[in-house]
Chains A and B, each alone.
Chain A
Amino acid sequence: MRITTTVNNERHEVDDVWEGESLLYMLRERMGLPGSKNACEQGECGSCTVYLDGVAACACLIAAGQAEGRDIVTVEGLAEGDDLHPVQQAFLDAGAVQCGFCTPGLIVATHDLLARDPQPADSEIRESLAGNLCRCTGYEKIIDAVKLAAGRMASTSAGGGA
């Protein structure tokens, strides 16, 4: 079947999509967007977290057909040109990236968290990232990165408003 979606503000039209395939497969294998990672294919690891109509979800659990006509944002869509999003920069600066496989999902999940709660408590960070597995870092650096991003984004928006 043919699927038409908007991905990272660009209209994509893809043919010969199998009715049972996931949005994740379509993004990676048919649209050339490999940022969303394919690991567990059962919603356990969060590596494929994307926004579907503004709602964070695991792309592996969305049927491609369910994305027809919808608006999707992947990790590739967060940076503005060469300027990394503050969440991405914070992950680099805090040492929250080791092998990097879980990073795209964690970036999107953190982006979603900070949009809902710009100054999350530790418990809220842990709860919000509970669906994203990392096997390298032990999570401490990731939590540092979330706080670093939150602080920078708060000072940027405060500066911008002044």
Chain B
Amino acid sequence: MEFLTPTSLQEALEAKSAHPDAKPIMGGTDVMVELNFDHYRPATLLDLTRVPELAECGRDNGSIKLGAGVTYTRVIAELGDQLPGLAMASRTVGSPQIRNRGTVGGNLGAASPAGDSHPALLAADAEVELSSLDGVRRLPVDEFYIGVKRHAGRDDELITAVYITPPQGPQQFCKIGTRNAMVISVSAFSIALHPDRKEVGTGIGSAAPTPRRARDAEIFLAEALEADGRWESRGALPEGLAREFGDLVKAAASPIDDVRGSAAYRLHSLSVMARRSLGWAWDDYTSARKA
């Protein structure tokens, strides 16, 4: 096995180009488990922890650029008020030890349907930056996930950053697991209200082959809020609206039965999480006016 340790982004891209089969490793919270259990053995490990560009975060043309190597601990500490949905999701990741090492970029690279950051990234319309020696491109995150643990990045590309527009409205995230820490979610849901453009964002986790949005639910809710002027009035949600939203979120999922939970439970829990998280988000939205 080879172990490559680039110390700049340029070197990292050159290494990935020369070794397209190299397995990138950041916090190791997924990759090392595979190695420890000898589930697979890549010919080359590409250690990205010494690439300073990946550990940066800051503003870029009105967006927040989150380097692929920024840990969950840093997302929580540095971006908690700017990216509330992603920060909420980050707080539910593993344990302090895992959050100290795990990164949003690594979560994207693993592309597990159960990855905690995905629902929040989907709801917030995040874009994934993919870089290679040929250049840089950005993909909407919902086009990034293409199958179970598969993403749209090419073999010569590295995930280098995530771009998120700072939200103009409330965001919520919730997940179901057997305990309050150290769980791979049974199901997860995130919602973002975008009052500036009168749109709604959603993200579903652990309930389909990939993380995915609930488009019909988003459109339904945005139109319902628009129809009775509720984006402006910020009045209480009408009876039944949140429940119908939850049903549409449930309809967007296609879960399986597995060791963590049954498909039926995942569907039910999603509808409940969607209903409740809309309520919490709407409470945030109405209290923001009073504040």
Do A and B truly interact? yes
The answer to whether B100 touches A55 (Cβ under 8 A) is yes
Q: Is B41's CB within 8 Å of the partner chain A? A: yes
B44 shortest CB reach to chain A, Å: 9
Q: Say yes or no: A65 contacts B47, CB within 8 Å.
A: yes
In the bound complex, what is the Cα–Cα distance between A44 and B33 (angstroms)?
Answer: 10
Query: 1/0 per residue B5-34: CB within 8 Å of A?
Result: 100000000000000000001011101110
Task: Check if A63 is an interface residue, CB within 8 A of chain B.
Answer: yes
Contact call A61/B101, Cβ cutoff below 8 A:
yes
Whether A57 and B33, one on each chain, are in contact in the complex, defined by CB atoms closer than 8 angstroms, is no
Q: With A18-B1, A19-B1, A127-B181 in contact, is A66–B100 under 8 Å at CB?
A: no
Chain A 8-32, CB within 8 Å of chain B: the 1/0 string?
0000000000111110000000000
Query: Is B182 a contact of A130 with CB atoms below 8 Å?
Result: yes
CB-CB under 8 A from B182, the residues of chain A are: 44, 130-131
| Interface residue? B287 (CB, 8 A) | no
CB distance from A68 to the nearest CB of B (A): 7
Are A43 and B97 neighbours in the complex by a CB distance under 8 Å? yes
Q: Report whether A58 and B3 are in contact in the complex, using a CB–CB cutoff of 8 Å.
A: no
B97–A65 CB distance below 8 A: no
A146 sits at the interface (CB 8 A)? no
Q: Do residues A68 and B5 form an inter-chain contact, with CB atoms below 8 A?
A: yes
Chain B proximity mask over A105-138: 1 for CB below 8 Å, otherwise 0? 0000100110000000000000110111000000
Q: Which of A43, A56, A66 is in CB contact (< 8 Å) with B33?
A: A43
Contact B45 A60 (CB under 8 A): no
Are A58 and B36 in contact, CB atoms less than 8 angstroms apart?
Answer: no
Q: Can you name 29 A-B residue pairings with CB atoms under 8 Å?
A: A1-B3, A19-B1, A19-B3, A19-B45, A22-B35, A41-B36, A42-B33, A43-B95, A56-B100, A58-B101, A60-B36, A61-B27, A61-B32, A61-B33, A61-B98, A61-B101, A62-B32, A63-B3, A63-B25, A63-B32, A65-B45, A66-B47, A113-B96, A127-B96, A130-B181, A130-B182, A131-B94, A131-B96, A131-B97
